């Protein structure tokens, strides 16, 4: 078999040759040209090699979105190591789990960050290298040219972690080539991304949606991308849009709702550079879709993707937006809606969405149980999403499992319940989705311990208790008291009975 090309080398070399001085990335007041990006990515590959990192080794990146993060990601890829970006604010516990689970050879993180503390507690880790916003430390001693390694046959080209129903996240490995899949059907045929576009994603590089919109799309199109290193709030996002004048904006529904509330064109919130807004990560409520377009005059396209697919597989189209629907299959994908027996569901009947297409992950990292459940032997991927098709258009009807998508984060009811049970008044509890303005939020259903009055004061106390233990998206927004939870004869709680659409 012929050796496979190194995808990072391909992207970097093409851009460096065609437009060396064009901006590849904009971040705050700083500009990174395609030439400077290629040079520093090569330096980083050479550094990793000199420090004993080999092709196939996992290199965990725990970094804010920044030039440094992109250089580190592409540099690791040049070596055909496996860059594994994780959220910069990942808890020390979860980071330790990821480093051990993927048997990381290296961790790249900001100097003095909690991540660097965690690194000291992981024996197998060979390298913990500090990284500034501009790049990993010590690049200047290395050559700006590097001999890129060909991707190894079985080793993952890059990996992302996705949260699971029972606590720990699962590694989702992808081949290097998968990085380019979203640039074909979705970016080219649907969005029409070209070299003159300036892309801006509020979602971070550690999330597949962010990696696609901030790395795959701009580099494949020879375009420019805006990076925001801070936590994205309305002020930060409007400021970046006004300053950098992006043409394409990618964000999640929860943030569109916040942006819409804050939007004030009279106060300088100028969105005139945008030709299109895109929403993914969780279902976009129909009302929010309409309101956004009414207020801004901009189309808002909803589409669904997943970490496993490393792509969008259903999408709305410019000029033909159906608010409240995920749209139609993205070119390259075949989709089915099936009933519990695996038979095709007719139009109008909800069932689970299965997808098939290029670039889909074929096995979770070291999780044969989860792989067997999700990746069917005939090549279909179970999305876990319930969909209904009408007139060829697909609409999301929630998740088949108990997982919640809140602000585009997976939330496991089990984890929230564990936290709630540490409150002295909670005898039993179950967490299920509650729709607030069409967006999914966790609701706690609590059976109080005898002797505790089920009143609003206790509800507030339980919510406060949860906020002290859980990240914001996992915190219930409401407590409902029940005398008992709905359970199967075998005692399993039936969370689906508690959902309030
Ligand atoms: C849900 C949606 C309704 C759905 C993602 C690449 O979200 C992405 O990846 P994840 O692995 O989550 C996947 C799950 O999220 N979901 C995502 N988008 C929508 N549900 N409407 C939507 N538009 O449950 C799916 O199975 O974190 C990965 C590119 C884009 C992405 N959104």
ipTM: 0.99
- 107 with 137: CB under 8 angstroms? no
Which residue among 179, 208, 304, 406 has the greatest number of ligand 1 atoms within 8 angstroms of its CB, and so is best to mutate? 304
**Extended beta strands in 191-264, E state:** 198-201, 224-226, 248-251
Ligand 1 centroid–CA 451 distance in Å is: 43
User: Ligand 1 in contact with 201 (CB < 6 A)?
Assistant: no
Ligand 1 centroid–CA 309 distance in Å is: 10
Is residue 59 helix, strand or coil? strand
Q: Which residues contact 299 (CB under 8 A, 6 or more apart)?
A: 276, 277, 293, 318, 319, 321
- The 10 Å Cβ neighbour count of residue 336 is 17
The Cβ-side half-sphere exposure at 150, using a 13 Å CA radius, reads 8
Q: What is the pLDDT of residue 1?
A: 58
**Extended beta strands in 92-204, E state:** 106-109, 127-130, 158-162, 170-174, 198-201
Specify the residue with its C-alpha closest to ligand 1, atom 23. Answer: 304
What is the spatial distance between Cα 466 and Cα 474, in angstroms, rounded to a whole number?
9
Residues lower than pLDDT 50 in the chain:
none
Specify the residue with its C-alpha closest to ligand 1, atom 2. Answer: 282
Q: Which residues contact 492 (CB under 8 A, 6 or more apart)?
A: none
User: Ligand 1 in contact with 281 (CB < 6 A)?
Assistant: yes
Specify the residue with its C-alpha closest to ligand 1, atom 14. Answer: 306
User: Ligand 1 in contact with 374 (CB < 6 A)?
Assistant: no
Q: What is the pLDDT of residue 97?
A: 97
Among candidate residues 252, 240, 314, the one with its CA nearest the CA of residue 277: 252
Residue 399 belongs to what H/E stretch? Answer: strand 393-399
- 396 with 461: CB under 8 angstroms? no
Q: Which residues contact 282 (CB under 8 A, 6 or more apart)?
A: 252, 253, 254, 405, 406, 407, 408, 439, 440
Ligand 1 centroid–CA 229 distance in Å is: 22
Q: What is the pLDDT of residue 208?
A: 98
User: Ligand 1 in contact with 405 (CB < 6 A)?
Assistant: yes
- 249 with 200: CB under 8 angstroms? yes
User: Could you give all domains of the chain from N- to C-terminal order, each with its CATH number?
Assistant: 1-11+35-174 (3.40.50.980), 404-498 (3.30.300.30)
- 239 with 39: CB under 8 angstroms? no
Please state the atom number of ligand 1 nearest to the C-alpha of residue 396.
3
Give the chain's length: 501
**Extended beta strands in 78-233, E state:** 82-86, 106-109, 127-130, 158-162, 170-174, 198-201, 224-226
Q: What is the pLDDT of residue 491?
A: 85
Three-state SS across 2-49?
Answer: CCCCCHHHHHHHHHHHHCCCCEEEEECCEEEEHHHHHHHHHHHHHHHH
User: Ligand 1 in contact with 208 (CB < 6 A)?
Assistant: yes
pLDDT in tens, 279-308: 999 999 999 999 999 999 999 999 999 999
Ligand 1 centroid–CA 328 distance in Å is: 15
* Torsion angle in degrees (nearest 10) through CA of 429, 435, 440, 441: -40
Please state the atom number of ligand 1 nearest to the C-alpha of residue 307.
11
Q: What is the pLDDT of residue 478?
A: 97
What is the spatial distance between Cα 279 and Cα 118, in angstroms, rounded to a whole number?
34
Sign of the Cα pseudo-torsion (365, 369, 375, 379, in order): positive
Ligand 1 centroid–CA 306 distance in Å is: 5
What is the spatial distance between Cα 466 and Cα 446, in angstroms, rounded to a whole number?
13
Please state the atom number of ligand 1 nearest to the C-alpha of residue 279.
23
Ligand 1 centroid–CA 57 distance in Å is: 28
């Amino acid at each position: 078999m012929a050796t496979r090309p190194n995808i990072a080398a391909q992207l970097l070399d093409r851009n460096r040759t065609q437009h060396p001085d064009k901006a590849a990335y904009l971040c705050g007041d700083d500009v990174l040209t395609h030439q400077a990006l290629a040079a520093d990515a090569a330096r980083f590959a050479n550094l990793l090699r000199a420090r004993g990192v080999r092709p196939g080794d996992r290199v965990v990146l725990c970094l804010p979105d920044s030039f440094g993060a992109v250089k580190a990601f592409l540099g690791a890829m040049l070596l055909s190591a496996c860059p594994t970006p994780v959220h910069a604010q990942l808890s020390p516990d979860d980071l330790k789990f990821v480093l051990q689970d993927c048997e990381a050879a290296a961790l790249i993180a900001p100097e003095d960050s909690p991540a660097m503390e965690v690194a000291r507690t992981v024996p197998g880790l060979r390298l913990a290298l500090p990284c500034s916003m501009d790049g990993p430390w010590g690049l200047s001693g290395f050559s700006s040219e590097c001999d890129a390694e060909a991707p190894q046959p079985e080793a993952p080209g890059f990996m992302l972690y996705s949260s699971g129903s029972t606590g720990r996240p699962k590694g989702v490995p992808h081949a290097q080539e998968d990085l380019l899949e979203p640039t074909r059907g979705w970016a080219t045929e649907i969005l029409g991304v070209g070299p003159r576009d300036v892309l801006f994603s509020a979602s971070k590089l550690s999330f597949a949606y962010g990696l696609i919109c901030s790395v795959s799309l701009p580099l494949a199109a020879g375009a420019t991308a805006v990076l925001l290193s801070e936590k994205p709030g309305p002020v930060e996002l409007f400021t970046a849009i006004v300053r950098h004048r992006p043409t394409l904006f990618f964000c999640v529904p929860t943030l569109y709702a916040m942006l819409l509330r804050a939007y004030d064109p009279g106060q300088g919130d100028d969105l005139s550079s945008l030709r299109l807004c895109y929403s993914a990560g969780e279902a976009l409520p129909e009302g929010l879709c309409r309101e956004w377009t009414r207020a801004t005059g901009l189309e808002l396209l909803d589409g669904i993707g997943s970490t496993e697919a490393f792509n969008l597989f259903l999408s709305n189209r410019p000029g033909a937006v159906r608010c409240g629907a995920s749209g139609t299959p993205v070119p390259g994908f075949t989709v089915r809606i099936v009933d519990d027996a695996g038979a095709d569901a007719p139009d109008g009947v909800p069932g689970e969405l299965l997808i098939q297409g290029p670039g889909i992950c074929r096995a979770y990292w070291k999780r044969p149980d989860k792989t067997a459940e999700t990746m069917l032997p005939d090549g279909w991927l179970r999305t876990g999403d319930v969909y209904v098709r009408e007139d060829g258009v697909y609409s999301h009807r929630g998740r088949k499992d108990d997982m919640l998508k809140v602000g585009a984060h997976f939330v496991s009811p089990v984890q929230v319940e564990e936290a709630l049970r540490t409150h002295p008044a909670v005898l039993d509890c179950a967490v299920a989705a509650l729709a607030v303005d069409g967006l999914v939020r966790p609701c706690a259903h609590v059976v109080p311990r005898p002797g505790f009055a089920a009143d609003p004061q206790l509800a507030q106390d339980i919510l406060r208790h949860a906020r002290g233990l859980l990240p914001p998206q996992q915190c219930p927004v409401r407590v409902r008291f029940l005398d008992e939870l709905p359970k199967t004869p075998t005692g399993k709680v039936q969370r689906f009975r508690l959902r309030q659409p």
